[in-house]
Structure 1
């Protein structure tokens, strides 16, 4: 072909989807018609699905991928960009053509994607701008949403904000929509904002927005988290924001962190002061994998790991279905004895 545009390159990569995945997503593996891996940065895990067999183009095309944990999606050009750390489409195209064995064209023959990637919308800087444009959650749809999830103590939730008209695009070819959204800051251990997580909400606050992927993250996530409270010698880490906030209903003074996916929970960085880590497990295979990895990493770092398991799918499901008293009783028997009096809220 004389010109190498994005759609043609993505199509050709899709024709060799499994080979692309084995090369750029080597920490994953094939299961049936999909390649499973932790995320587009090649983190071990199972939350990202790459379609290996599919139609020639469109949503079901081979090479299309989605991350069930973050809501991100794309094609194999995005995989090459993220795995190699490129910020310029020319570099992505050249890498793709090298993989495909195609001759590299002159620079003017490369047709870029419609949306420039020189200043990517998913960058840490874009995340900082989004969080700065948002407002406190008191009296907003975010507060209503959390209360409808049975999360009523909202002290110390400065890492959460509200955006009344947050942009949402189903895919790169669809028109942009706007929905109210809960914006969460993702920070490193020093408190620097590295990313943001968006949960688009129904304007009534009774649930998430009626969109295909109501949760998406942006920026630098690996090792970082949405944080509540300042970590000391004891903290808790879990996957979802709602799951972690459910535990805070019972342990309001314990520092906690939501890593946003099982793969990112497994890779969560430990504060130097940490001596005991409560692992807030989701009851699914990905949650089991994160639990096992964190136990191994914590033990190697001289940190005591303690697993907190839900009765149902996760702690927020427990809270909504069984009630706060049942969750309090279940958490109490799983805590280290010294942490019961130190952190547990008195039932009132």
Structure 2
């Protein structure tokens, strides 16, 4: 019953948030994090409609116990100092339920359910419209070769021609609408698919041409956004030596999983025989749809500081994969300067990463890229 009142509760519990979209019929309430500070970024999202109405998730590396939940959890954290009993009492008062009075409960329940069916039907139609729009955006885009999107990747030292082919999931649109810019901008679009091959959503990377003629990410606060669904889905970047869809890989085939497109394709530049997908965001690694016959799931790691929210979030996502029975390993770009010789200094391993991620390694040291073992593989 609380979840059905999410559109009323979320702005009250998280007053510094915003509706998304800001006009029309919003589907989400977004704020910075559980502290609800004004920061210009929106990592905590509350679903206001659909199957998961009232449920929320913090995609920005939340504190333990504050990663996700429903309206009762939000009340417990934001209003009751973490006390569940107090949260239940607060909720009963809010819903007008009198302790021990079954009739008051039934009246509240019926009031909540009256409009639920119509709301769900309307939401289903809206979601289908968004998914159709995301699919059409990708279908009506140009294939990658010869486009500014290919030049953008080449500016990141990712040469599809050297690889011998371009990823079929990546395309180019010269006119993708960007709300932040208030105009249409050039954009690399990527298909997000499920294990069955269904198109779930479209990832967008807006790009712009620099004064020297090269192409880079557009100067926007959020140059990368997703249209449609992405949870459980992935961007198929590289088939390696295999053929066919991810669902039909040979038993024991390892799957390399990057967070973003550029890191995944960088690994393809160094190990073109590997099967590589992008998870779209770190928080969605644990929910990836993956074939049961896969070998190891190898995470394409980044050199984030030990103890950081990103490291904690990655550990949680790995735990989700392991709980589903998958074997998980991680590879990292070098943490010690290349050419130093000898064993890595443990202190330097903690404090002085040579490269933040695989794409930075590829860009800054192309001759040494994968010239030696790529970081560490850890269970």
Q: How would you bin the TM-score normalised by the shorter chain?
A: 0.5 to 0.7
Answer whether contact 1:280 1:307 (CA < 8 A) is retained.
yes
Q: Is 1:314 matched up with 2:357? A: yes
Distance across 2 between alignment mates of 1:244 and 1:329: 18
Distance across 2 between alignment mates of 1:280 and 1:287: 13
Residues 62-113 of structure 1: CA deviation (Å, up to 9, x unaligned):
xx8623xxxxx9xx8x642367459xxxxxxxxxxx9977999xxxxxxxxx
Answer whether contact 1:236 1:255 (CA < 8 A) is retained.
yes
Q: Is 1:216 matched up with 2:225? A: yes
Aligned partner of 2:168 in structure 1 is 158
Residues 34-77 of structure 1: CA deviation (Å, up to 9, x unaligned):
xxxxxx799xxxx96366255xxxxx7xxx8623xxxxx9xx8x
Aligned partner of 2:140 in structure 1 is 133
**Shift of residue 142, structure 1, vs aligned partner:** 0.5
Which segment is superposed worse, 264-273 or 179-188? 264-273
3-state SS of paired residue (1:313): coil
Q: Is 1:167 matched up with 2:210? A: no
Aligned partner of 2:67 in structure 1 is none
3-state SS of paired residue (2:257): strand
CA separation of 1:268 and 1:328: change in aligned 2, threshold 3 A: farther
Aligned partner of 2:201 in structure 1 is 195
CA separation of 1:156 and 1:100: change in aligned 2, threshold 3 A: farther
Distance across 1 between alignment mates of 2:129 and 2:224: 14
Distance across 2 between alignment mates of 1:120 and 1:262: 23
Distance across 2 between alignment mates of 1:328 and 1:250: 9
Aligned partner of 1:323 in structure 2 is 366
Q: Is 1:296 matched up with 2:319? A: yes
**Shift of residue 240, structure 1, vs aligned partner:** 0.7
Answer whether contact 2:208 2:216 (CA < 8 A) is retained.
yes
Answer whether contact 1:136 1:160 (CA < 8 A) is retained.
yes
Which segment is superposed worse, 122-131 or 144-153? 122-131
After the TM superposition, which residues 275-290 of structure 1 pair with which residues of structure 2 at under 5 Å, given as runs?
Answer: 275-284=295-304, 285-290=308-313
Answer whether contact 2:10 2:29 (CA < 8 A) is retained.
no
Distance across 1 between alignment mates of 2:178 and 2:128: 12
Of 23, 48, 63, the match for 1:80: 48
Of 245, 251, 254, the match for 1:234: 254
Residues 231-271 of structure 1: CA deviation (Å, up to 9, x unaligned):
43211001011010100001112111101111012322221
The alignment of Structure 1 onto Structure 2 pairs a total of residues equal to 263
Q: Which has the higher contact order (CA 8 A, sep 6+)?
A: 1
Gap runs ≥5 in structure 1? 1-8, 21-39, 55-59, 68-72, 87-97, 105-115, 337-348
**Shift of residue 296, structure 1, vs aligned partner:** 3.1
Residues 196-245 of structure 1: CA deviation (Å, up to 9, x unaligned):
10000003552111222111002121111101224432110010110101
Answer whether contact 1:131 1:161 (CA < 8 A) is retained.
yes
CA separation of 1:320 and 1:82: change in aligned 2, threshold 3 A: farther
3-state SS of paired residue (1:52): coil
**Shift of residue 328, structure 1, vs aligned partner:** 3.7
CA separation of 1:300 and 1:12: change in aligned 2, threshold 3 A: closer
Of 28, 43, 66, the match for 2:42: 66
CA separation of 1:122 and 1:226: change in aligned 2, threshold 3 A: farther
Gap runs ≥5 in structure 2? 1-5, 18-27, 55-91, 97-107, 112-122, 240-244, 335-354
Answer whether contact 2:29 2:48 (CA < 8 A) is retained.
no
Q: Is 1:148 matched up with 2:155? A: yes
Q: TM-score by structure 2 length? A: 0.59
Distance across 2 between alignment mates of 1:119 and 1:302: 35
Answer whether contact 1:124 1:195 (CA < 8 A) is retained.
yes
Residues 302-329 of structure 1: CA deviation (Å, up to 9, x unaligned):
4332210123221111111222523342
**Shift of residue 140, structure 1, vs aligned partner:** 0.7
Which segment is superposed worse, 10-19 or 276-285? 10-19
Aligned partner of 1:305 in structure 2 is 328
